[in-house]
A and B are shown apart, each in its own frame.
Chain A
């Protein structure tokens, strides 16, 4: 069974540009969540999509947006990049069952804003 796939693995962008990151969840998982990880803040929740609808949203500015397609693949977009957006962006594919919510992460996309 394939795991969570995130592309690209690495990105370097300039301040003011925009970026789109992609995530393919585990087959059969309908929930996809995005997290930002930085050394100072740890893992911070961005948003969650379930069946193409945003189900939860964290405390990030509107520059951060996402969407989910009918095949459960998800993208997140960051517009007008700032230096502080440099981080590891992680996508998690989740399944909720009798064992609670289990989230499986991709390898992440390392974004560097210069």
Chain B
């Protein structure tokens, strides 16, 4: 069974601060995705990383996939209140079809 450990579980910061969310596993994933979810809504896909060592930037968000494709991180620079939400990482196994294994999520609150 593939597991993804996400940390921290909760994060409350002030506007303008930087933060990093981590997603770790002992399993190798063929791809890893990051989502953001608002209360009562479905997760919205932010990015997909597929190559070990890959770094992708989306405005103030930087996503990195570990060299061994077992871990990933999300770094937000100069966080804004609009970044508030639940951030989820999800990995696709190499033989699991479209089945995704999700981390527990990081609830981020950015205070003005």
Contact = CB atoms under 8 A, between A and B. Distances in A.
A3 B98 CA distance: 17
B42 A101 contact: no
A99 interface: yes
Contacts, number: 77
B98 A99 contact: no
B42 A106 contact: yes
Interface in A27-59: 31, 33, 35, 42-43, 45, 48, 50, 55-56, 58
A79 interface: no
Interface band, chain B: 20 to 34
B61 interface: no
Contacts of B99: 33, 45, 48, 56, 58
A103 B90 contact: yes
Interface residues of A, number: 30
A104 B45 contact: yes
Contacts of B42: 4, 6, 90, 105-108
Interface in A82-114: 88, 90, 92, 94, 96, 98-108, 110
B55 interface: no
Contact of A55 (B30, B43, B90, B97): B97
Main secondary structure of the interface of A (DSSP, over half): strand
A103 B100 contact: yes
Interface of A: 4, 6, 31, 33, 35, 42-43, 45, 48, 50, 55-56, 58, 88, 90, 92, 94, 96, 98-108, 110
Interface of B: 30-31, 33, 35, 40-45, 48, 50, 88, 90, 92, 96-105
25 contacts: A31-B98, A33-B99, A42-B103, A42-B105, A43-B88, A43-B90, A45-B99, A48-B97, A50-B97, A50-B98, A55-B98, A56-B98, A88-B40, A96-B97, A99-B50, A101-B92, A101-B97, A103-B33, A103-B90, A103-B98, A104-B45, A105-B43, A105-B44, A105-B45, A108-B41
